[in-house]
Amino acid sequence: MWSFSNIANLVHEVLAEHFNPAITLAIEMVIAGVSVIGLFAILGLVLVIMERKVSAWMQIRLGPNRVGPKGMLQSLADTLKLIVKEGMTPNGADKLLFNLAPFIAMIVAMLLMAPIAFAKDLQMWDLNIGILYVSALSSVTVISILMAGWSSNNKFSLLGAMRSGAQIVSYELSAGLSALAIVVLTGSLQISEIITSQANGWWIFKGHIPAIIAFVTFIIAVTAETNRAPFDLAEAESELTAGFHTEYSGMKFALFFLAEYVNVFIMCSIAATLFFGGWMPLHIGNWHKFNHVMDFIPSSIWFFGKTFFLIFVIMWFRWTFPRLRIDQLLDLEWKYLLPITMFNLLLVTAVAILGWHF
């Protein structure tokens, strides 16, 4: 199976030959940080053009087709436009909080990258409470949204921020309980152990019906948590202009825009890790020859393939379902998803205790 451990060890050995341990560690952390920033930039470009192409495909039209081959450089043109645009701060706004909010959104997204295993032996921080870390830190995103809405001195921004706060806090419960179902089956919060537990089959197959229910509720909850349609009431264009980022322009708007897409990637990567084995190839029980063939596909291809498939599903939601009203959105969570996930957690606990999973 493909592994990145040799590359990591080579970089460490080269640095250790020329620097003391403290400086070596500092340089390695800088390399990791620059790599995350580079991944952010690439994800922003790729996911924006993917969103446009997917929507165009579903609406039977071409989409971007002027800038670059088949419009593939349209995202780069949009980025350059946002970089050169002047950032405006409205009169009456709380300048400190107004300017700080988009950076908090980006910082939280960067911190969420730490425990994700992008491939075999390619993980920045394999802490033993990885799922709890992701669940706790993803909730902090709402602080940046509330700061942006309140500090803008705009009623539409404030209303969008309050909607987002209610939405994220509500759906965080279902997302957490759905993830907890896989934690119960695995017996660990550590992401590397969750992936290893799927070496003989992914939990979406081994966990029977409870795992499928957990996956469906998780993907619905994270769609709402990332303010994606049909749950995009926080930035409903037909009602609130642009919601909490109405007053933002230039690079500050770009940071919010980028943070949204990166959060979608992160949540889909967590879903791929919990239910589809992360970077783990498709292995079926004792089918040794089949499993050996699957191991020839690089682990990074498995991870990004699963993640981008789930991103496609979330984009599919956007261009298929109409936007919900705020009362419908909260009813869906409190009257349906939360009871289902609580009952499913009891069911998956029984499955784990009785050993009914594969």
Q: Does residue 234 sit within a domain?
A: yes
Position 184 scores a pLDDT of 93
Cβ atoms of 64 and 52 within 8 Å: the answer is yes
Percent of the chain with pLDDT over 70: 96
The pLDDT of residue 237 is 65
Q: Is residue 29 part of a domain?
A: no
Q: Give dist(CA 262, CA 256) in Å, integer.
A: 10
Q: Is residue 83 part of a domain?
A: no
Burial class (CB in 10 A: 0-12, 13-18, 19+), 70: middle
Domain assignment of residue 189, yes or no: yes
Examine residue 46 and state whether it is found in any structural domain, yes or no: no
Question: Considering its fold, how many domains does the chain have in total?
Answer: 1
DSSP state of 87: P
Residue 53 lies inside a defined structural domain of this protein: no
Give a yes or no: residue 324 inside a domain. Answer: yes
State both tokens at 195: 């992936």
pLDDT score, position 358:
63
Q: Is residue 21 part of a domain?
A: no
Q: What residue type is assigned to position 54 of the chain?
A: V
Q: Which of these ranges, 8-12, 38-42, 276-280, has the smallest mean pLDDT?
A: 8-12
Average pLDDT over residues 132-140: 90
Question: What string of DSSP letters covers 284-301?
Answer: -TT-HHHHHHHTTS-HHH
- Please state the rounded mean pLDDT for residues 334-340: 94
pLDDT value at position 3? 63
**pLDDT score at 326:** 83
Percent of the chain at pLDDT above 90? Answer: 34
For residue range 164-212, list pLDDT tens digits in order. 888 888 899 999 999 999 999 999 999 999 999 998 889 999 888 999 9
Domain of residue 254 covers: 88-354
Residue 62 DSSP SS3: coil
**What pLDDT, on a 0 to 100 scale, did the predictor assign at position 51?**
92
Predicted local distance difference test score (pLDDT) of residue 195: 94
pLDDT value of residue 1: 52
Q: Find the distance separating the first CA and the last CA of the chain, reported in whole Å.
A: 23
